[in-house]
Amino acid sequence: MAPRTRNTLSSTRREGASLNVRPPSPHPSGATPPPIPRDLVPRHVAIVMDGNGRWAKARGLPRTEGHKAGEASLFDVIEGALELGIPYLSAYAFSTENWKRSPDEVRFLMGFNRDVIRRRRDELNAMGVRVRWAGRPGRLWKSVIDELRAAEEMTVGNRTLTLQFCVNYGGRAEIADAAVKLAGDIAAGRVKPSKVDEKVFARYLDEPDIPEVDLFVRSSGEQRFSNFLLWQSAYAEMVFLDRLWPDFDRRDLWEACETYAKRDRRYGGAVPNKV
C-alpha cells in the first residue's frame, strides 16, 4: 500500500450544528480535514466497507474478527465526514447477497449489526447524526429491525449528518421493489403510465429524499459496485482505495474527497473543443 500523506490544514465545517451537539473527536494523529472548497465537498458519499475477511486472514484470525475491527473504522469515517461537512453518508452493512455466506458468519453479522446500532446510537445522537435504514425487512432478524427503527426514531430531528445504514440491501432489489410499488399505484389508478419518468420512479425507492450519490468509495482495492445504490450512483465519481477496511480511517475518506474535488463532472455534457 502507498504511504499515507495528509494535508493537515483546514478546520471543522459542519452545518446544522447547535450548541448541544458534541463535536467529533479529533483523530489520534492530529490530522485535520483538507481545505476543500465547500462547493466541492461531496454532498452524498457511499462507502463499500470491503476487506474485513482478508484483513483477518492475513493475521490468522477468523473472519468475524475482521468485522469487529471494522466497527472502529466506520465510526472514525463518520467523525471525519462530520469534520469535513459531508451531509449524507451511506454505509453498506449487509447485502442481499450476503445470505450466501456460511450460516455461522450470517448469524454473527446479524447479531453484530444489531449490537453496533444499539451500542453506538447514543453517540451518534449526541453528534447530531440522523440514522436512516434502507433495505428489505424480509429475512432480517426482528431484533435488528427493532434496533434500526429505534435509532431512526431517536435521531429523527438531527441535522448535522444523515447516516444511511444499508442492511439487507441490494440495488437491484430496491429497483425491483420500487417497480412493484409503482405498478400497484398504476393498477389502482393513482398514477398514469404516460406520466412515469425517472423522477416519478425515484419516488418509490427506499429513501427518495436522500440525494443521489456524488462520491462512491470502496476499500480493499476491489473495483466494482457490488449491487450498491445502483440507481443513486448513476453519475457518482468512483474512488477505489487499496486499503482493507479495518485499516481505513477518516484520512482515507478525506483523500477520496480530495480526488473527487479535482474531477470534472459533466453529467453527459461537454464543452466544445477549441479549433
Positions marked active-site: 50, 98
d(CA 165, CA 235): 21
On the 0-12 / 13-18 / 19+ scale of CB atoms within 10 A, 164 is buried
Nearest to 225 by CA among 83, 139, 67, 97: 97
Strand partners, 161: 129
Q: Record the cell numbers describing residue 60, joined without a space.
A: 490468522
CA dihedral for 50, 68, 154, 253, sign (positive or negative): negative
Q: Which phi and psi angles does 247 have, rounded to 5°?
A: -95, 0
Strand partners, 169: 95
HEC-encoded secondary structure of 114-165: HHHHHHHHHHHHHCCEEEEEECCCCCCCHHHHHHHHHHHHHCCCCCCEEEEE
Count CB atoms within 10 A of the CB of residue 81: 28
